[in-house]
């Protein structure tokens, strides 16, 4: 199918899809309409019954906690899939780019970049931990904070070379933290079963809304998700960075 024929087929389908969108959008609530009854109930329930002032976190990790469990496992599966896809194959050998052209060394990053990285990395770690631990009080949580934590390593990478980052990043520890994060969520869920209620029931002492320790299982689940996401994103970027070192095998 040539490009023109493909475009014609797409345009026909797009017109049909646009009509379907029109019909579908006519049936959904008007933009800016008051919230649904479900959301209104959750708004009223979240603080009195869960001591969590951030309703979004309460929805993600308590009222719809099983959803988030699956969401976490989708990320876990994606990272595992990328590790499998990008594994070194039998016909590939590992070389640094410098080995291919010894006369053209990669210039080291400038001192200004190094200084910026040294200043930013600790700030990013603290910001990430703050975002993970305050999920039940203010906007934030494990997913957002985990990504910020992972960024700290990438900032270090910008200031040095990949070979040096690889030496201290301890791959097995990161894999372990990713696994612990993914498994921890299920274990927290099982506590509910052990306590005689349903899976993921908020059975831990709730604390007082607005305090750092509040919301029962919310901060615990946020911490496990933070571990999982931080580990997952570091692994993910590590897999892609590894590709810069792998030289194509003789088969291609």
Residues near another protein (CB under 8 A): 1-3, 5-7, 10, 14, 17-18, 21-22, 25, 28-36, 38-39, 42-43, 46-47, 53-56, 58-60, 64, 67-68, 71, 74-75, 78-79, 81-82, 85-86, 92, 137-139, 141, 143, 209-210, 236, 239-240, 243, 248, 252
Output 12 or 118, the one with its CB closest to another protein.
Answer: 12
Q: What is the distance between the alpha carbons of residues 194 and 44, in angstroms, rounded to a whole number?
A: 28
- 205 vs 252, beta carbon nearer another protein: 252
CB environment 119-153: b (16+ within 10 A), e (fewer): ebbeebbebbeebbbbbbbeebbbbbbbbbbbbbb
Q: Cβ of residue 185: shortest distance to another protein, in angstroms?
A: 14
- For residues 116 and 129, what is the distance between their CA atoms, to the nearest angstrom? 20
Rounded Cα distance between 225 and 218, Å, is 10
Contact between 222 and 57 (Cβ < 8 Å): yes
Q: Measured from the CB atom, is 146 or 159 closer to another protein?
A: 146
Closest contact distance (angstroms) between CB of 88 and another protein is: 11
Q: Rounded CA gap, 11 and 2, in Å?
A: 14
As measured in angstroms, the least distance from the Cβ of 134 to another protein is: 10
Q: Which is nearer to another protein, 159 or 177 (CB)?
A: 177
């Amino acid at each position: 199918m040539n490009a023109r024929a493909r475009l014609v087929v797409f345009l026909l389908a797009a017109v049909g899809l646009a009509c379907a969108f029109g019909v579908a959008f006519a049936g959904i609530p008007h933009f800016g309409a008051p919230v649904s009854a479900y959301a209104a109930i959750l708004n009223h329930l979240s603080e009195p019954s869960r001591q969590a002032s951030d309703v979004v976190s309460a929805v993600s990790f308590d009222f719809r906690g099983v959803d988030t469990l699956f969401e976490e496992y989708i990320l876990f599966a994606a990272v595992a899939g990328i590790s499998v896809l990008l594994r070194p194959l039998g016909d590939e050998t590992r070389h640094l780019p410098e080995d291919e052209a010894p006369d053209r060394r990669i210039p080291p990053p400038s001192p200004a970049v190094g200084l910026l990285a040294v200043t930013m990395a600790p700030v990013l770690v603290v910001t990430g931990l703050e975002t993970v631990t305050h999920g039940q009080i203010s906007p934030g949580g494990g997913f957002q904070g985990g990504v910020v934590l992972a960024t700290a390593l990438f900032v270090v990478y910008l200031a040095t070379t990949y070979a040096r980052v690889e030496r201290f990043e301890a791959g097995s520890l990161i894999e372990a933290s990713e696994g612990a994060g993914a498994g921890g969520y299920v274990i927290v869920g099982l506590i509910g079963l052990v306590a005689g209620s349903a899976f993921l029931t908020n059975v831990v002492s709730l604390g007082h809304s607005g305090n750092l320790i509040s919301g029962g299982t919310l901060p615990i689940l946020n911490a496990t998700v933070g571990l999982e996401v931080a580990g997952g994103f570091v692994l993910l970027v590590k897999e892609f960075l590894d590709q810069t070192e792998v030289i194509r095998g003789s088969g291609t």
